[in-house]
Amino acid sequence: MVLDDPTTRPAPRSRARTDAPWQHDVEQDDLEHIGKPIRKVDARSKVSGLTRFADDLTLPRMLHMKLLRSTVAHAEIVHIDTRQAAALPGVKGVLTGKDLPIPFGILPVSQDEHALCPDRVRFVGDPVVAIAATEEETAWNACRLVEVEYRELRTIGGIHEAAANDEPRLHDYGVRGNIHRLENLEFGDLADGFAKADHVRQDTFFFEGNTHLPMEQHATLAHFDKDGKLTVWSSTQTPHYLHKALARTLHPLPAHHIRVIACPNGGGFGGKSDPFNHEIAAAKMSMLTGRPVKIALTREEVFWCHRGRHPVLMRAKVGVSKTGRITALDFHSYLDGGAYGSYGTASTFYTGALQTVTYAVDNYHFRGARFFTNKAPCGPKRGHGTPQPRFALEVQLDKIACDLGLDPARIRLDNLAPRDSLTANFLRIGSMGLGTCIEKVVAGSGWNTRRGKLGRQKNGRYRGLGLACSSYLSGAGLPIYWNGMPHSGVQLKLDRSGLVTAFCGSTDIGQGSDSVLGWIIGEVLGIDPLGIKVVTADTDLTPVDLGSYSSRVTVMTGNAAMQAAERARDIVADGVAAKLGVPAGRLVFAAERVFDSEDPAKGMTWQEAVCAAEAKSGTIGTVGSYSPPPSAAKFRGGGVGPSPSYSYSAAVVEVEVDAETGIYTVPKVWMAHDIGRALNAAVAMGQIEGSVYMGLGEAMMEEMAYRDRTHKGNRIFVHKIPSLLEYKSPTTLEMPEVVTYVVEDPDRNGPFGAKEVGQGPLLPMMPAVANAIFDAVGVRVDEVPVSFEKVFAALQAKQAGKEPRFGPANDATGVPAVDFGESLKIKTPWQGGDGTAWNEPKREKKAAK
């Protein structure tokens, strides 16, 4: 049965086998599948409701688990009494912190979480007791019967409060007080850079935290079977890291007795990248009760899981020449990390790392501080740590263009980071299509004729255009834990039926990573991608892939798949060559056939080819793996930022502002995204449009708002709006018209030249909206979200003759006073630097494991 209409397929074109094993000529344009709008491998299941998400799974005798969570923001646990709960009919298991004493955390440097808090709770929502029962209602009712006695501690509510109060410390590790991390990196000669500047600006910005809000609430099903093996199905983006966390916390259960299967994620966006307390508790509960245990979080609990965008205060000082060329940048960021470490160390570095990748910054000083506060922990959300500084710098550049009377598009084009270069902080840029991106959106939006001239419309509202740019990683250059093993592995099995099965640890979170495997392997072997079977995200069956985060999958999994496929092709070619009596190098793999490029009639079907190869070489299986190129940055902290390649984006946003109220709409967006090469046109478009959407939400409305009240001496500190109704996200009615430009500047490190797609274009949305508001009504909102009330406040300030701005205090009081200590000083490549800090204390070299 033909399930998909073959008429949408391109006509097959022959392609000679390349000589190098997996270095493809990225300029070749005779690709059969790559770049075409082929359906995703799971498209039919997804439109039929047949995709099984974690909460769709059930097992016989399955118990339902609920977590009792802290109702106070910061307290010591004095006493827990679970006797009444345990006695409730239907309750089969009760766990508290003492049952899971081993801490965990995504990063080796911050193993600061417990599945159930043993002695201390750090935010409203921290889990304390887990109860499993035959019915979910029973477990919920039983949770209400638990008595927990707390001794409340002072609550640390935000960045300024954390900086001012060393006590009580949320954690007994970190730099000091409630400072989790301090980074201080200096590249080049700042004094010289600012001395060369004709104009220096200093601004303060604030980016409020927001969350991923995946439509699927996290769910986990755990089954500890009678053979002593544990299987955990979960909505996780990182089955490998969950596997590690389970092996650690469930000690002495051996790691090889644990199997993690990541179900298709109903949206992740970074929010399912940490190992979570509920996953570990469900596993332990299954071990305790000997029955399958499921937990499906409520929407409110998803807000407690969080790991979303850090609230970041920023102070940026930038020097430019008369023509707007950046001479020096001094950037401070202050991150509100919430209650736990999570990815926070990486997040802190990411607020500083990519400044040099978008625009050339010859002299750069970055200081970053992350604080612990009594909020749901922050972590990686789409763009991880980079949207906040991007907002600050893109708005600041707009202000500078304004100060100097320059075109905001021109000033960006004049500052582009050069392609094939090393940045001041030793990041290696390969392909770089930002210039093209800017030109596309400038032309498309009519920027040169419309900017600054739209003004008042017939309906009394004011229109304006704003432009902003960004860059983003194609995966992190280093793994989360130090090791020398590949970041991604793919195994291929070729069957006599002609079936090719790809095994890979990568996880499809909706971005299409399963399909990426199919497209690449199908292209290399000349077979239908939809005929390839893809087995992913199962730690028993699939080789490790680190997970779906930091836009790493297309490049890393893609390269591994390519290597495995090319090795398979070589084996098949040997078999076919022997049978046909043709040199292997002359064989073409296309259109489900293997044939002689000089006599296309001479050949065989793919299935015959596999059989010929199996007859010659035996059972056919190949592997491919990928590790990113070594980083040029050797200073401490240089591990965050390197990537095989960087994507680029430019956006122009049009806004329409009601000057009487500050209410505005975004009628149209022009977005250009340099992704190296689109592996699948339609899917790449979807990623870009999704980024525009999510960025628009962050720009206009999304925020993790907290209620901070004191009553009778007790402080109440709780998320204000943990619901889909009140945590505002854009609906069909807010989504603007989007003109998308897919810019293809192939990169040598990517499969077929591909780079990341889908995180980068989120970044320019927030600053472009703020810049467009300025173009429309002449006020600055230096804070995200750029909500209506802030636009209104800035308009009122303007009316009152004050600075037409809303944002944190634009002087040294806007940010906390933090002693960052001495900076690590790194000579830039053009100063003759070798990537090390000349004042860094010598460290013992750790061997890769």
Map the footprint of other proteins across residues 67-86, applying CB under 8 A. Answer: 69-72
Q: Which two tokens stand for residue 434?
A: 């930002």
Distances (CA, A) of 56 to 40, 221, 694: 21, 10, 26
- What is the footprint of other proteins within residues 191-230 (CB under 8 A)? 212-217
Helix axes 239-249, 277-289, angle to 10 degrees: 50
Stretch that binds other proteins, among 283-291, 469-477, 551-559, 692-700 (CB under 8 A): 692-700
SS3 (DSSP) at 261: strand
Q: Can you tell me which of 11, 725, 817, 847 binds other proteins, judged by CB under 8 A?
A: 725
In the complex, what is the shortest distance from the CB of residue 724 to other proteins, in angstroms, rounded to a whole number?
4
The count of residues in the chain is 849
d(CA 130, CA 433): 51
Q: Can you tell me which of 16, 88, 402, 701 binds other proteins, judged by CB under 8 A?
A: 701
- What is the footprint of other proteins within residues 480-509 (CB under 8 A)? 509
In the complex, what is the shortest distance from the CB of residue 786 to other proteins, in angstroms, rounded to a whole number?
13
Class of residue 800 by CB neighbours under 10 A (exposed 0-12, middle 13-18, buried 19+): exposed
Which are the contacts of 274, defined by CB distance < 8 A and separation ≥ 6? 106, 238, 241, 305, 307, 342, 343, 379
E strands along 658-746, which residues? Answer: 664-674, 706-711, 714-719, 737-743
What Rg value do the Cα atoms of the chain yield, rounded?
27
| Of 788, 789, 787, 770, the residue nearest 779 (C-alpha) | 770
Q: Could you tell me if 270 and 379 are in contact, meaning their C-beta atoms sit under 8 angstroms apart?
A: yes
Q: Which CB atom, from 285 or from 329, has the smaller least distance to other proteins?
A: 285
Which are the contacts of 126, defined by CB distance < 8 A and separation ≥ 6? 69, 70, 117, 304, 339
| Of 849, 674, 676, 651, the residue nearest 762 (C-alpha) | 651
Residue for token pair 């806007």: 814
Q: Which CB atom, from 213 or from 442, has the smaller least distance to other proteins?
A: 213
d(CA 194, CA 647): 29
| Of 563, 348, 559, 387, the residue nearest 474 (C-alpha) | 559
Q: Could you tell me if 808 and 204 are in contact, meaning their C-beta atoms sit under 8 angstroms apart?
A: yes
Q: Can you tell me which of 404, 604, 739, 797 binds other proteins, judged by CB under 8 A?
A: 739
In the complex, what is the shortest distance from the CB of residue 234 to other proteins, in angstroms, rounded to a whole number?
15
219-224 and 824-826 strand pairing:
unpaired
Question: Residue 46: in which H helix or E strand, if any?
Answer: helix 43-46
Q: Can you tell me which of 323, 723, 799, 831 binds other proteins, judged by CB under 8 A?
A: 723
Asked if residue 732 binds other proteins (CB under 8 A), the reply is: yes
Q: Which CB atom, from 136 or from 592, has the smaller least distance to other proteins?
A: 136
In the complex, what is the shortest distance from the CB of residue 603 to other proteins, in angstroms, rounded to a whole number?
31
Q: Which CB atom, from 458 or from 711, has the smaller least distance to other proteins?
A: 711
Q: Can you tell me which of 87, 191, 485, 682 binds other proteins, judged by CB under 8 A?
A: 682
x/- mask, other proteins, residues 778-817, rule CB under 8 A, reads: ---------xxx--xx--x---------------------
Stretch that binds other proteins, among 103-111, 401-409, 461-469, 718-726 (CB under 8 A): 718-726
- What is the footprint of other proteins within residues 741-780 (CB under 8 A)? 741-742
Q: Which CB atom, from 469 or from 694, has the smaller least distance to other proteins?
A: 694
Q: Can you tell me which of 206, 364, 693, 752 binds other proteins, judged by CB under 8 A?
A: 693
Q: Can you tell me which of 255, 720, 830, 839 binds other proteins, judged by CB under 8 A?
A: 720
Q: Which CB atom, from 274 or from 674, has the smaller least distance to other proteins?
A: 674
| Of 703, 704, 711, the residue nearest 72 (C-alpha) | 711
Q: Can you tell me which of 86, 182, 413, 681 binds other proteins, judged by CB under 8 A?
A: 681
Q: Could you tell me if 536 and 514 are in contact, meaning their C-beta atoms sit under 8 angstroms apart?
A: yes
Class of residue 411 by CB neighbours under 10 A (exposed 0-12, middle 13-18, buried 19+): buried
Q: Which CB atom, from 730 or from 833, has the smaller least distance to other proteins?
A: 730
Q: Which CB atom, from 300 or from 811, has the smaller least distance to other proteins?
A: 300
Q: Which two tokens stand for residue 216?
A: 């699927």
- What is the footprint of other proteins within residues 288-307 (CB under 8 A)? 296, 298-300
Q: Can you tell me which of 115, 287, 312, 692 binds other proteins, judged by CB under 8 A?
A: 692
- What is the footprint of other proteins within residues 412-441 (CB under 8 A)? none
In the complex, what is the shortest distance from the CB of residue 706 to other proteins, in angstroms, rounded to a whole number?
12
In the complex, what is the shortest distance from the CB of residue 8 to other proteins, in angstroms, rounded to a whole number?
7
Q: Can you tell me which of 59, 107, 718, 818 binds other proteins, judged by CB under 8 A?
A: 718
Asked if residue 661 binds other proteins (CB under 8 A), the reply is: yes
- What is the footprint of other proteins within residues 30-69 (CB under 8 A)? 37, 39-40, 42-53, 55-56, 58, 69
- What is the footprint of other proteins within residues 127-156 (CB under 8 A)? 136-137, 140
Q: Which two tokens stand for residue 799?
A: 């009316």
- What is the footprint of other proteins within residues 339-398 (CB under 8 A)? none
In the complex, what is the shortest distance from the CB of residue 337 to other proteins, in angstroms, rounded to a whole number?
21
In the complex, what is the shortest distance from the CB of residue 19 to other proteins, in angstroms, rounded to a whole number?
31
Instruction: Compute, in degrees rounded to 10, the torsion defined by CA atoms 780, 785, 787, 790.
Output: -40
Residues near other proteins (CB under 8 A), total:
101
In the complex, what is the shortest distance from the CB of residue 729 to other proteins, in angstroms, rounded to a whole number?
7
Q: Can you tell me which of 96, 740, 771, 828 binds other proteins, judged by CB under 8 A?
A: 740
- What is the footprint of other proteins within residues 247-286 (CB under 8 A)? 264-269
E strands along 637-730, which residues? Answer: 646-657, 664-674, 706-711, 714-719
| Of 17, 13, 30, the residue nearest 587 (C-alpha) | 17
Widest Cα–Cα separation across the chain: 90
Q: Can you tell me which of 347, 351, 511, 563 binds other proteins, judged by CB under 8 A?
A: 511
Q: Which CB atom, from 58 or from 497, has the smaller least distance to other proteins?
A: 58
- What is the footprint of other proteins within residues 439-468 (CB under 8 A)? 444
Q: Which CB atom, from 124 or from 476, has the smaller least distance to other proteins?
A: 124
Q: Can you tell me which of 735, 748, 810, 836 binds other proteins, judged by CB under 8 A?
A: 735
SS3 per residue for 97-161: HHHCCCCECCCCCCCCECCCCCCEECCCCCEEEEEEECCHHHHHHHHHCCEEEEEECCCCCCHHH
In the complex, what is the shortest distance from the CB of residue 508 to other proteins, in angstroms, rounded to a whole number?
8
Q: Which CB atom, from 168 or from 444, has the smaller least distance to other proteins?
A: 444
Asked if residue 24 binds other proteins (CB under 8 A), the reply is: no
| Of 283, 221, 291, 218, the residue nearest 255 (C-alpha) | 283
Q: Which CB atom, from 510 or from 814, has the smaller least distance to other proteins?
A: 510
Q: Which CB atom, from 643 or from 680, has the smaller least distance to other proteins?
A: 680
Residue for token pair 């591994």: 560
In the complex, what is the shortest distance from the CB of residue 367 to other proteins, in angstroms, rounded to a whole number?
32
Q: Could you tell me if 773 and 781 are in contact, meaning their C-beta atoms sit under 8 angstroms apart?
A: yes
Stretch that binds other proteins, among 333-341, 391-399, 633-641, 689-697 (CB under 8 A): 689-697
